[in-house]
Amino acid sequence: MELKNPREVATLALSLLDLTNLRDDCDAQAIAALCERARTPFGTTAAICIWPRFVAQARGLLGAANAIRIATVVNFPSGDLSLAAVVQETEQAVADGADEIDLVMPYKAFLAGDEAAVSTMVSAVRAACPDACLKVILETGEIKDSGTVRRASELAIAAGADFIKTSTGKVAVNATLEAADIMLRVIRDSRKKVGFKPAGGISTVSEAELYLRLAETIMGPDWLMPSTFRFGASSLLDDIVAVISGTTPSRASTGY
């Protein structure tokens, strides 16, 4: 898709957005509001991304056959829960109606040299949600080193990730174009159908466009679709709607 103007960029970004509320103070009322926000006059977001404890409520609100998918997080945000706990969390989320699982890889163990911990956990969660979309969060702001980000991407893809995702949104440095560039090149070189999700800190259409154009450059113009590209954000939706409608955005607080 050739992106010609801000309105086209905003319309595409809307279709790729995982509208997120992973705030510590999230409650049932906030989830109901999030489900409503995901339906805009210009179309729906790709998904909502919420805490596991709200999945059943969201499924009840959205219904069984809805265009808006339900994503939830496991091993989140610390990345250091036990394998058994993460598998149980995943199985419960799927039973409650989750379509997508965003798994924080055990990045602290990985940074300590334990690559097997990443492979084991991703593989186990993959087995626990065979029909769900599995997005593996690398936490690139904590990994930092480009070679290490590349290796984490390779391990996640080899173990069965459907997407690799930059960040939890809960650390000092979240999505960056530098990390995106590395991760997209690993996806390209893998020759597998794996998607990419930058998350945390992307709040305007102009910022989103930088990621979209980078992905186009590396992966080609026909690659930008919900099955291969997502944004993890909350306040981005306000700017998307403002750009499409030609109004001034009212800033929402971050969904992280």
- The DSSP call for residue 226 is T
Catalytic residue among 99, 102, 238, 239: 102
Sign of CA dihedral 233, 156, 106, 183: negative
Alpha helices in 159-198 (DSSP H): 177-190
* Tally of helices (H runs) and strands (E runs) in the chain: 11, 10
Cα angle: 48, vertex 242, 27; to 5 degrees: 35
What SS3 state is found at 129? coil
**Active site includes 4?**
no
Q: Which residues are paired to 229 by β-bridges?
A: 196
Strands (DSSP E) along the chain, which ranges? 17-21, 39-40, 43-44, 47-50, 69-74, 100-104, 133-137, 163-165, 195-197, 231-233
**Active site includes 108?**
no
Catalytic residue among 162, 197, 238, 239: 197
Residue with tokens 């991304």: 49
**Active site includes 197?**
yes
- The DSSP call for residue 139 is -
Cα angle: 54, vertex 29, 200; to 5 degrees: 65
Structure tokens at 143: 């990994």
DSSP string, 55-83: HHHHHHHH-SS-SSEEEEEESTTTS-S-H
Catalytic residue among 96, 162, 165, 238: 165
Residues forming the active site: 102, 165, 197
